[in-house]
Amino acid sequence: MRLAIRKYGDPILRAKGKRIEIVDERIRALAANMLETMHAANGVGLAAQQVGHALQLTVLDVSQVEDRPSALSLNGAPVEDPASVMPLVLLNPKLRLSDDKDSGSEGCLSFPDITAEIDRAVSVEVEAETLEGKTIRLDASGLLSRALQHEADHLNGILFIDRMSSAAKASHSSKLKRLQKETSKGI
């Protein structure tokens, strides 16, 4: 089932996600619906807050993006074709960021028609749980590293506008105000 994607201005986007202790039918159904919603919207990632749940749950899929490569190791073993392990469903992710950063274009399904250059760590180490109750370790770089950092931010109530340069934020300010107004009318 496709879920409604919450837009900027909806207070749930600022909520910190609760740790998921037990994977029950409700969590499995939510993850499946989030995957369907992300794919239908052509997104590479979606966090639970974006569909109205303050939980530490995110889904990602970079397999459709051909012009921005990703590199990935899973539990220490390099994955030759990152697309082969997509989509990812991650619970309670913990990130360790590399010190080196680079700038890249980012958008967000909660901010239609807004993209900006955002500085992110070049690579990231993630420890997370899966729906099967396993703990996995991912080492990612490229687009997947960026997407993981963007989604982990969502799980903590942080949005990509918080990481925009003040000049970029200023250039989007009228769009952001309009979006916020539309959202508050709809709630």
**In sequence order, what are the residues at sequence separation of 6 or more whose Cβ sits closer than 8 angstroms to the Cβ of residue 53?**
12, 17, 30
Q: How many binding residues for Zn ion (CB under 5 A)?
A: 1
Interaction mask 108-127, Zn ion, x per CB under 5 A: x-------------------
79 or 114: CB nearest Zn ion: 114
**Alpha helix (H) residue ranges in the chain:** 25-40, 143-155, 166-171, 173-186
Shortest Cβ distance from residue 87 to Zn ion (Å)? 16
Q: Give the C-alpha separation, 97 to 40, whole Å.
A: 30
Cβ density class 30-60: b for 16+ within 10 Å, e for less: bbebbbebbeeeebbbbbbbbbbbbbbbbbb
Q: Which of residues 73-112 bind Zn ion (CB under 5 A)?
A: 108
Least spacing, CB of residue 154 vs Zn ion, in Å: 5
Q: Please identify, using beta-carbon distances, which residue of 79 and 151 lies nearer to Zn ion.
A: 151
- DSSP helix/strand/coil, 162: helix
Q: Is 7 helix (H, G, I), strand (E, B) or coil?
A: coil
- Tell the smallest beta-carbon distance from residue 81 to Zn ion (Å): 25
161 in contact with Zn ion (CB under 5 A): no
Catalytic residue among 106, 127, 132, 151: 151
Contacts of 45 (CB under 8 A, 6+ apart): 38, 58, 59, 60, 61, 147, 148, 150, 151
Q: Which is nearer to Zn ion, 72 or 109 (CB)?
A: 109
25 as an active site residue: the answer is no
Restricted to residues 127-156, the positions that interact with Zn ion (CB under 5 A) are none
Backbone torsion region of residue 34, taken as left when φ is above 0, otherwise alpha when ψ lies between -120 and 50, otherwise beta: alpha
How near is the Cβ of 23 to Zn ion at its closest, in Å?
23
Give whichever of 14 and 137 is closer to Zn ion, judged by the CB atom: 14
Q: Binding residues for Zn ion, per CB under 5 A?
A: 108
Residues tagged active-site: 151
